[in-house]
Amino acid sequence: MRVIAPGKLVLTGAYAVLDGAPAIVAAVDRYAVADDRSPTQVDVRALHDEKGQKLGLGSSAASLVASLASRALARGDDPRSARVRADIFRAARAAHARQQDGGSGVDVAASVFGGVLRYALGPGAPELRPVELPPEVVLAAYWSGTAARTSDLRARVDALKASGNRSSVFDRLRDLAVDAAASVDAGDATAFIGLARAFGGALDLLGQAADAPIVLPAFAELASIAERQSAAFLPSGAGGGDVAVWLGTAPPSAAFDGRAEALALRPLTISIDRGGVRPESLS
């Protein structure tokens, strides 16, 4: 039997989650697939483009989760049970941190549990719980055509933190991430979209301070167009390319899509996955 594990989109909280702020992450219906007869052989093509480039949807985390879940299934355990999922999450988070030289584990959580999560690092285990985006929020995703190396970007940000001239942008990111998570809890679509837009601006400032290309020029231009449409457009996760998200109360306009196409960004057909890691035949 095959096991599927969803990818993810980080909506708010990138980088700030490493400082203990909450991130809002959505699992998406692009999957890593493993078979319980050969759990080390994981198919991640749905998380890549036609050229084999990673889309930035958390393919490495989803691959680990699918592999561990297929091993659990082969032992007779149900990957949908709370106990088994907790074990998969702990093992996958530790393995992914070794692979990525750190990280928060937010992408692992999305792959294991599915849906939309509020995720924060605490003094012990991460604190996570399911949440719902306000019903008015429209989520869309765009692929930049350029795969980013998250570890390189994070290294530059870490260097800025260690420089002794800690930028106030870290405090700004943290405050915005906290407020964005609170707006989700309150079901306030307007506030969440506005805070996501401000968070994207703070990511741009972080990139400038760290000399890291977190917000690409094309993303910044599209963010300005989105703002004029009372929406937000920002990198999903660490930035530097990969995928970006539109958050609004209406779908992107034809003008927005036209400019995105001119800038070589491509919309992705994507929606929120509600099931998390699971046997494919039971999805």
pLDDT digits (tens, 9 = 90+) for 34-83: 987 776 778 888 998 888 888 889 999 999 999 999 999 999 999 999 99
pLDDT at 281: 64
Number of other CB atoms surrounding residue 233 within 10 Å: 28
pLDDT at 283: 43
Q: CA Rg, the chain, in Å?
A: 18
Judge if pTM exceeds 0.85.
yes
- For the chain, what's the residue count? 283
Alpha carbon 111 to its chain's center: 10
For 79, the 3-state DSSP assignment is coil
pLDDT at 24: 98
Of 25-39, 100-114, 153-167, which range is least confident? 153-167
69 backbone dihedrals φ, ψ, rounded to 5°: -70, -35
Q: What is the mean pLDDT of residues 195-224?
A: 95
- CA distances to 54, 65, 67, 69, 76 from 39, rounded to whole Å, are 21, 10, 5, 8, 14
For 105, the 3-state DSSP assignment is coil
- pLDDT, mean over the chain: 92
Task: Identify the structural domains of the chain with CATH numbers, from first to last.
Answer: 2-132+271-282 (3.30.230.10), 138-268 (3.30.70.890)
Of 14-18, 118-122, 176-180, 238-242, which range is least confident? 238-242
